């Protein structure tokens, strides 16, 4: 390992920024924006707790990878009775259905700001172009270039989202009061969503693959990984707080309602243009694009690495880098799966059965990740000195309980 000093440690960071940029999508920003527009700063504490829990989860993924030299899927493949790898079965079904639906969702989300900025093309055309550009950027570039692209997109997001929060002038005393836990009437749904939703996706599990692609191998990189992880999720927290400020200052006082989902940001664009002029509105749409496109290419890269690892295990070639690396047929095959079949969903109503399966499998993934991390990091699979202590176990257990509650709520909503 290269000598790492406190001075050069900051220069080595990167995967944490990648996972932060991928995990925060337009829908997450809208959820925070709506929470701010309905409850002001009252739920700011929930956003902070959510950030802390995500730090604990991603740290667990990184600690497993560095202390064992194995991927998270290596760990999953070791769970359960011999001959019945339930984790592989779940993940295989999940990644196929999830990828098909998410591909269409990500392309549409990326197309929304592009269609608003350049209305000369139809939304569906922009969506297809976004998918093809994302495919090309991941196909032809290795991790170091991918990381630089993601870092640039995060910089654009930071300038636009945080700049917007500064423009609307936050009420600092009200923000400080919002750090005191309280639950306004009717806020339970939004509180759970803020704690569990923002920055919590399958790409948290991809963090271990990105630190390996970065060249971090062995426990000697543990301090760098922990700093990298904290910086990444602090950036996530800053984005969340910034959007809550916008919701509280721009929407709450005026009683303006927003549409749910990604289209809520187009409603915000109209408000910004009316309040601050076209320049601010245009800059916001650029930040909106950076948010959605970073999520798109982050998933295209990270989840394709996970699928390639899954494929290597299924075919009994888990140790072969040619089978599970960035240039492997499985990696590139999943890139195609994320890009081309989902284009059909852009031209039709989404099948009800497929959406239900997508919702069920997606709701179960974060509980699956939290619970399997507790299992792996407290077993003999992890070297004794790197097993979870009381603090890590408490945080992972809290995350597991939270995500199980969120999964139950999501599943109840699907069947009712």
Q: What is the DSSP string of 274-289?
A: HHH-HHHHHHHHHHHH
Q: What is the mean pLDDT of residues 325-352?
A: 88
What would the mean pLDDT of 217-246 be, rounded to a whole number?
A: 90
The 10s digit of each residue's pLDDT in 11-48 is 778 899 998 888 887 777 777 888 888 888 999 998 88
pLDDT of residue 169: 85
Q: Within a 10 A sphere around the Cβ of 70, how many other Cβ atoms?
A: 19
What is the rounded average pLDDT of the residues 247-272?
Answer: 74
Calculate what percentage of the chain has a pLDDT beyond 90.
47
d(CA 300, CA 323): 17
Mean pLDDT of 185-197: 78
Residue 1 has pLDDT above 60, yes or no: no
Contacts of residue 144, defined as CB under 8 A and 6 or more positions apart, other chains included, come to none
Under the banding of pLDDT at 50, 70 and 90, the label for residue 346 is confident
CA distances for 325 relative to 68, 204, 354, angstroms: 19, 19, 30
pLDDT of residue 407: 79
Joined tokens for residue 288 = 């909106």
Confidence class for position 296, pLDDT limits 50, 70, 90: very high
Reply yes or no on whether the pLDDT at 338 is more than 80. Answer: yes
In this prediction, residues 128-157 reach a mean pLDDT of 94
Tokens (6 digits) for 337: 């799966």
| CA gap 193, 33 in Å, rounded | 12
Which one, of 1, 69, 156, 88, lies nearest residue 313 by Cα? 88
The 10s digit of each residue's pLDDT in 380-396 is: 999 999 999 999 999 99
Is the CA virtual torsion 246, 248, 254, 258 positive or negative?
positive
pLDDT digits (tens, 9 = 90+) for 192-208: 777 776 656 788 899 99
**Mean pLDDT (whole number) for 290-294:** 93
Q: How many CB atoms lie within 10 A of CB 351?
A: 12
* Residue 376 CB partners (closer than 8 Å, separation 6+): 64, 75, 78, 79, 382
Helices and strands (DSSP H and E) totals, the chain: 19, 0
pTM exceeds 0.85, yes or no: yes
Alpha-carbon distances of 178 from 47, 171, 244, 251, rounded to whole Å: 10, 11, 11, 17
| Percent of the chain surpassing pLDDT 70 | 89
- Residue 405 has a CB neighbour count (10 Å cut-off) of 14
Rounded mean pLDDT of the chain? 86
Query: What CA–CA distance (Å, rounded) separates 209 from 307?
Result: 11
pLDDT at 72: 93
Residue 310 in contact with residue 88, Cβ under 8 Å?
yes
């Amino acid at each position: 390992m290269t000598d790492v000093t406190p001075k050069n440690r900051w220069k080595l960071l990167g995967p944490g920024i990648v996972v932060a940029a991928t995990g925060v999508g337009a829908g997450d920003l809208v959820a925070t924006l709506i929470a701010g527009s309905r409850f002001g700063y009252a739920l700011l504490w929930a956003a902070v707790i959510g950030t802390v829990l995500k730090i604990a989860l991603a740290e667990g993924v990184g600690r497993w990878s560095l202390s064992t030299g194995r991927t998270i899927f290596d760990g999953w493949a070791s769970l359960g009775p011999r001959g019945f790898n339930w984790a592989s079965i779940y993940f295989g079904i999940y990644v196929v259905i999830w990828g098909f639906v998410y591909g269409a969702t990500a392309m549409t989300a990326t197309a929304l700001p592009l269609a608003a900025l350049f209305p000369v093309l139809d939304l569906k055309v922009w969506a297809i172009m976004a998918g093809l550009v994302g495919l090309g950027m991941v196909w032809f570039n290795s991790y170091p270039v991918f990381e630089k692209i993601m870092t640039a997109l995060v910089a654009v997001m930071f300038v636009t989202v945080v700049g917007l929060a500064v423009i609307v002038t936050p009420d600092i005393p009200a923000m400080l009061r919002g750090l005191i836990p309280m639950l306004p009437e009717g806020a339970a749904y939004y509180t759970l969503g803020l704690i569990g939703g923002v920055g919590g996706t399958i790409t948290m599990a991809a963090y271990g693959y990105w630190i390996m692609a970065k060249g971090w191998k062995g426990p000697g990189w543990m301090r760098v990984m922990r700093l990298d992880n904290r910086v990444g999720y602090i950036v996530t927290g800053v984005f969340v707080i910034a959007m809550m400020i916008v919701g509280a200052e721009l929407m709450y006082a005026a009683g303006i309602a927003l549409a749910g989902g990604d289209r809520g940001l187009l409603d915000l664009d109209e408000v910004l243009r009316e309040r601050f002029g076209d320049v601010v509105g245009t800059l916001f749409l650029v930040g909106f694009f950076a948010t959605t496109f970073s999520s798109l290419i982050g998933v295209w890269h990270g989840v394709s690495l996970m699928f390639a690892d899954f494929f290597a295990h299924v075919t009994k070639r888990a140790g072969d880098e040619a089978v599970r690396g960035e240039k492997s047929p499985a990696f590139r095959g999943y890139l195609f799966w994320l890009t081309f079949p989902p284009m059909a969903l852009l031209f039709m109503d989404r099948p009800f059965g497929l959406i239900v399966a997508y919702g069920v499998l997606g709701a179960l993934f974060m509980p699956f990740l939290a619970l399997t991390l507790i299992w792996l990091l407290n077993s003999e699979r992890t070297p004794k000195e790197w097993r979870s202590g009381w603090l890590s176990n408490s945080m992972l257990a809290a995350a597991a309980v939270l995500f199980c509650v969120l999964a139950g709520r999501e599943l109840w909503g699907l069947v009712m």
